[in-house]
Amino acid sequence: MIIGVVGLGTVGFGTVDILVKEKARLEKEIGEEVKVKYGCSLEDVDLPEGIIYTRDFNDIINDEEVDVVVELIGGVTIAKKIILEALKKGKHVVTANKALLAHDGEELFKCATENNVNLYYEAAVGGGIPVVVPAKESLIANNIYKIEGILNGTTNFILTLMEKENLDFNEALTIADDQGFVEADASLDLDGYDAAHKIKLLAMNAFHIFFDFDKIQLEGIRNVTKKDMDYAKKLGYRIKLIAQAKKLEHGYGLDVAPTLVPINDIVGNVMEAYNVVEITSDYLENVLFYGKGAGRYVTASAVVSDIIKCHDDKKWTYHYEHTDEIYPITYSSYYIRTNKPIDVDYDQYLTLGNDHIYITRAYEKDELLNKLGDQEYHLFKVR
């Protein structure tokens, strides 16, 4: 197996490092040579002895010896060109590019199928958490009904800081940014786009469907206040940014939203920059995947796993149907905070000062909004 790695940043260099350090063990495992022939980057990088450095990704794509092209530059322009050209040349591709796959995955996966090669993307979803392959292969006996979890470590880290350090949102965001948790474009994390990219890939993988990314309703954590976190905790909950996908009677529900999760729930106890994915199916029922969602070697671990899978003759095909039947998940119990009482059915009620806090019974969101009218309120889903 001859490999070319395009992109030698944090994850790319970590991938090369693992492949070199674990070369003998990996070769023994699959009974085949595992050789990194190229490393491609626009910036000079000191690569291990024997690896060819290039600034031109075409050197990798046009080399007939290369079996696997690893795309780790990110973005949705040059990365797409690299992947498409590699697939059309009959090379397997491994990527961690969640944004590209979320927006252009249908074209890319169909190209892989047409050219009888694989496009693997485990590292694009849960960082180092193996969830794509288990859902695709290990759960093949099951019909998957629902996927939900915490898919963005940055927001989870911020929410943890707000709770444990008694900080408001902006204070926690500053600390997270100083520690390198926040993307250069902070809206990817804070406004739910990153989590939405990942839940789209998980839904596509589990439900065998293609759909437009813009169909996903998303809300980030900018409106989560320390006051609401404190009230939620008094009622037995924590606020988490939850991404979910589920089969509906007519179509599929997908969204990303701040959600109250019971403190005695496993998901409610996932703190810091950790991720968790819970999959609900018919025969296995519930299974959880938990671990670190980002980091040089954490993510590189998943990349290397996908590279080694390219050794198999088995091909993943994507004969999926495109659907427009994608809807937000609006029927739920809700947390509501207002400055005056409202007429709702509720399971819990708390009043402190001028605040009236409810955990409602299940409602359609529009019905609650009609009851709230034009008064000020804070409203979040309850799991």
4 is in an annotated binding site: no
137 is in an annotated binding site: no
12 is in an annotated binding site: yes
φ, ψ (nearest 5 deg) of residue 124:
-80, -15
288 is in an annotated binding site: no
The length of the chain is 383
For 151-183, give one letter per residue: b (16+ CB within 10 A) or e: bbbbbbbbbbbbbeeebebeebbeebeeeebbe
Report which DSSP code applies to 320.
P
Rounded CA separation 323/210 (Å) = 6
- Coil, strand or helix: which one is 151? coil
7 is in an annotated binding site: yes
Block residue for tokens 């149907």: 321
CB neighbours (10 Å) of residue 249?
4
CA angle 200/202/204 to nearest 5° reads 70
127 is in an annotated binding site: no
DSSP string, 32-75: S--EEEEEE-SS---PPTTPEEES-THHHHT-TT--EEEE-S-S
Specify whether 198 is catalytic.
Answer: yes
Distance of CA 248 to the CA centre of its chain: 21
Whole-angstrom CA distances from 264 to 151, 244, 268, 299, 335 are 20, 20, 7, 29, 17
77 is in an annotated binding site: no
291 is in an annotated binding site: no
Rounded CA separation 205/216 (Å) = 16
Residues 35 and 65 sit within 8 Å (Cβ to Cβ):
no
The residue annotated as part of the active site, out of 80, 89, 146, 198, is 198
Residues of each annotated binding site for NADP(+): 7-12
Q: Where is the binding site for L-homoserine, in residues?
A: 183
- Just list the catalytic residues: 198
Residue positions forming the annotated binding site for NADPH: 98
Q: Which residues are annotated as a binding site?
A: 7-12, 98, 183
